[in-house]
A and B are shown apart, each in its own frame.
Chain A
Amino acid sequence: MQSETKSRVDQITSPAGHPVTVLRFEGDIASTSKEAVLGTYQALPKATNKLILLDFTKVDYINSSGIALVIQLLIEASNSGQKVYAFGLSPHFVKVFTMVGITKYAGLFPGQAEAMAAL
């Protein structure tokens, strides 16, 4: 019933010259998304992926279990000395992420261009 979460990894360089790893998600982010969210992140070598950008542009539905997966990703990233940013959330989910405190540990940007300009 829940639409499968797809994920893709892109390696790009910020205008400031920093390598950035973009995790692009598509579909629902829910309890069934563990492999797509955490699995994809955990497959990245920690030493060479210091800036992580989460792309939610093609995500329509995020529930509390999906938010918990994002928090688990933030915990692992924090423990590995990585910085995480996100973009593409709808205004509603920007509000929800702010309400639960995620913005304290992951900067949110409207789009990829704004995020890249800040990195």
Chain B
Amino acid sequence: MSERRTTNVEVRLPSRMGFEKVAMSTAASVAKLMGFRDDRVEDLKTAVAEACINAIEHGNRLNEKLSVGVILSAGEDSLEVKVIDDGKGMKNHPSKPDIDRKMHGQEDPRGMGMFLIQALVDEAEWVAGTNGKSSYVRLVIRLDKDAG
């Protein structure tokens, strides 16, 4: 049986808007090293950025005393990203934004982050932490998806 190897990279971000770009750049670097196509790297960048924004804004409520943990686990054929915050976790599942309702003022123009995350990666799950802390979103992007 061949041994499966996983390489981990960890980043810790302050809960300040804008620092999601640090995680985004790190994820892009790891994905490029793994051989992901450019378009998949772009998908991952947006998904990771949105996950970090949610963690900073909703999980840690912009409290700069709290940090957001980002753990990238590079396997042989997939990259897993966990974005961890000190919030209670997301209660609602992502729903597809309805542009007509937004245009007519029936839906908030915001609120697209979770939808984008789920749409751009191969797996996305939101896990509420025990004791109402250390919640995380777990993303997986597979190396061989639509390989051509």
Contact = CB atoms under 8 A, between A and B. Distances in A.
Contact of B50 (A2, A32, A63, A105): A63
Interface residues on A, range: 20 to 34
A74 interface: yes
**A interface: dominant SS:** helix
A36 interface: no
Nearest to B113: A64
B73 interface: no
Interface residues of B, number: 29
What secondary structure prevails in chain B residues at the interface with A? helix
Interface stretch (A11-19, A46-54, A94-102, A111-119): A94-102
A105 B113 contact: no
Contact of A102 (B98, B99, B113): B99
A63 B116 CA distance: 10
- Closest CB pairs A-B (n = 10): A1-B18, A101-B99, A92-B42, A2-B18, A68-B109, A68-B110, A71-B109, A64-B113, A64-B112, A72-B109
